Amino acid sequence: MIKKFLFIVFSLLYFNTLTKAQSVYIEPLIDDFFCRNGISIDSCSYDYLYTEAFQWIDTPYRYAGNSTAGIDCSGLTKKLYEKVYNLKLEGGSKTIYDQIIPIKNKADLKEGDLVFFKISRNQISHVGVYLKDGNFIHASVKSGVIISNLSEPYYQKYYYAGGRFPE
């Protein structure tokens, strides 16, 4: 029992120390999930982003939430960035947007970039984390944490810009 406990503790410590430049092995279950959602994870993909993103799938939406009991779009973005990139973000989607370098052309988006939307008002009100091939993970009010595609009419209509943090 103690060996199992120590193994789990050391495994968690190892995975919590990974940085952006490192990756981990993608389990077949995770790889299969993303393949079924149109995302082929190859050796060039940043595995840790997908592993962490998978942990949040189907988490219910909760305004201002930041746990697996419920999370909103900026909460999810902040959790992913803190865990994957060791970068602590503050504020909501508009505040996060004010900190990034905008990317206007969708073709220039890379894994881990952010995507911003103007949905309910004439200001940025939604954010997600770009995966690849037009797919992004976000917390939807109706569906919780899901993967959507920028080519879907709804997201085409409200898309504002992509962005990334300065290096």
Which is catalytic among the residues 138, 145, 147, 160? 138
* Bridging pattern class, strands 114-117 and 126-130: antiparallel
Residue 69 falls in the annotated catalytic set: no
Residue 126 falls in the annotated catalytic set: yes
d(C-alpha 24, C-alpha 110), whole Å: 19
pTM above 0.85, yes or no: no
Task: State residue 121's pLDDT score.
Answer: 79
Q: How far lies 2's CA from each of 10, 11, 16, 121, 151, in Å? A: 12, 14, 21, 54, 50
Which is catalytic among the residues 73, 127, 131, 146? 73
Residue 67 falls in the annotated catalytic set: no
Q: Which domains does the chain have, with CATH numbers?
A: 47-164 (3.90.1720.10)
Task: State residue 36's pLDDT score.
Answer: 74
Q: What is the mean pLDDT of the chain?
A: 84
pLDDT digits (tens, 9 = 90+) for 1-38: 443 333 343 344 444 444 433 444 557 677 677 667 76
